[in-house]
Structure 1
């Protein structure tokens, strides 16, 4: 059977639309800032269970691998700094170990800043913080192809407030798997 050119084009378009729909994770875009970034309602854990409910098979080892992602996914920075604080090195080492053991897993490093400073400056600061984390992971042996950087600057605060405690919680990098 031979399709006419417009029928072939329509078939390809429908196939791509179905494929694009299947690749959606169903996660939220509210930028969860509770340190878990992606677990809970709409996050990676529920996405895994949704896949099982819809009949997609997931082996026990794959489920175990998702549970092996380090729980602490947020590191914090000092005011106007992009240097890694020593108390967060163990968190970074855990993520580096996980990524080295799972070379097909990718992570997005989301850089954030508090509201002080201009929007442009804070976007740059968030990016420099995420780059510092990427550099640390690279030194630990993580492939650069597994890491993506996004800076939200001051646009997605973890806490709304105008005091030092709020600012401190907003100066962060979040690991998003």
Structure 2
């Protein structure tokens, strides 16, 4: 019996101490005093979409960053003109931006031949942009020849994807 009484007393003490440990109630302010509350600063909303003027914005804003060519060709056809016109429009919106046009070829032909052909492709795209009013000082060209294929494979589908000029923003 003493043991049961001791356990009951211990439980009552534990409950009483637990109730005392709870957070004290906050009393209202005394009359004549003012209270100030601080609010968290409003969260700034993250911008949606790519950063204006970035490579991601360029990709999202133009028809394509790539102009494709036929075998052993570097002429700008009607489809290429539309792509380059959209690029020129984007460049007009961001006059401080510069671009590099990369010339590429498929795996056929010698390294030297493809470097020269890639340069002619990049220059053809540059010259068309310049004819649309883009300052030539804003456009540089580089030829990678067959060194950076987009598609691996030795078939017409892969070769067609690799015959290209790609515009990349640089600053």
Q: What TM-score results when the alignment is normalised by the length of structure 2? A: 0.65
What is the alpha-carbon root mean square deviation over aligned residues? 2.0
Q: Which residue of 81, 95, 106 corresponds with 1:89? A: 81
Distance 1:156 1:104 in 2: 28
Aligned residue number for residue 39 of structure 2 = none
Aligned residue number for residue 10 of structure 1 = none
Q: CA deviation at 1:101?
A: 2.2
Aligned residue number for residue 97 of structure 2 = 105
Distance 1:65 1:121 in 2: 35
Aligned residue number for residue 15 of structure 1 = none
- Of 95-104 and 72-81, deviating more is 95-104
Aligned residue number for residue 174 of structure 1 = 166
Runs of 4+ in 1 over 3 A off after TM superposition: none
Aligned residue number for residue 64 of structure 1 = 52
Distance 1:141 1:86 in 2: 18
Aligned residue number for residue 146 of structure 1 = 138
- Bigger radius of gyration, 1 or 2? 2
Cα displacement string for residues 51-79 of structure 1 (whole angstroms, at most 9, x for unaligned residues):
xxxxxxxx99x923432542611110000
SS at match of 2:52: helix
Aligned residue number for residue 149 of structure 2 = 157
Q: Is the 8 A contact 2:53 2:97 kept in 1?
A: no
In structure 2, the gaps of 5 or more residues are: 1-46
SS at match of 2:120: helix
Cα displacement string for residues 121-160 of structure 1 (whole angstroms, at most 9, x for unaligned residues):
0000000000000000000000011101010000000011
Q: What TM-score results when the alignment is normalised by the length of structure 1? A: 0.63
In structure 1, the gaps of 5 or more residues are: 1-58
